[in-house]
Amino acid sequence: LDTLPIREFRAGYAELAKYGLIDRPDFFAWLEENWGKVFAGGPERAEAIAEACRAKAEVVARDEFETGDRALLNLGHTFGHALEAATQYDSARLVHGEGVAIGMALAYRFSSRLNLASPDDAARVEAHLRAVGLPWCMADIPGELPVAEALLAFITQDKKVSRGALTFILTRGIGQAFIARDVPASEILSFLRDNHPGQQEGRPGQPKGSRGQQKSRPG
Give pLDDT tens digits for 106-122: 999 999 999 999 999 99
Total number of domains constituting the chain: 1
Q: What is the reported pLDDT for 74?
A: 93
Is residue 213 assigned to a domain?
Answer: no
The residue range of the domain holding 78 is 6-195
pLDDT at 198: 86
Residue 81 located in a structural domain: yes
206 located within any domain: no
Kindly list the distances between the CA atom of residue 140 and the CA atoms of 172, 198, 214, in Å, as whole numbers in the listed order. 25, 12, 29
pLDDT confidence bin for 213, thresholds 50/70/90: very low
Cβ neighbors of 5 (< 8 A, separation 6 or more) are: none
Q: Residue 95's domain is classified under what CATH number?
A: 1.20.1090.10
Model confidence pLDDT, tens digit, residues 140-171:
999 999 999 999 999 998 655 566 568 899 99
| 168-209 pLDDT per residue, tens | 999 999 999 999 988 988 899 999 999 999 875 544 444 333
Question: Could you tell me if residue 178 is inside a domain?
Answer: yes
Residue 51 clears pLDDT 70, i.e. is over it: yes
Q: Of all residues in the chain, what percent carry a pLDDT higher than 90? A: 74
pLDDT at 3: 82
Pair 52, 28: CB distance under 8 Å: no
For residue range 64-96, list pLDDT tens digits in order.
Answer: 766 678 899 999 999 999 999 999 999 999 999
Closest CA to 84 of 180, 11, 3, 17: 11
pTM, entire model: 0.87
> Mean pLDDT: which of 10-19, 61-70, 153-162, 208-217 is highest?
10-19
18 within domain boundaries: yes
Residue 215 belongs to a domain:
no
Q: Return the percentage of the chain with pLDDT > 70, whole number.
A: 85
Residue 130 falls inside a structural domain: yes
* Residue 183 belongs to some domain of the structure: yes
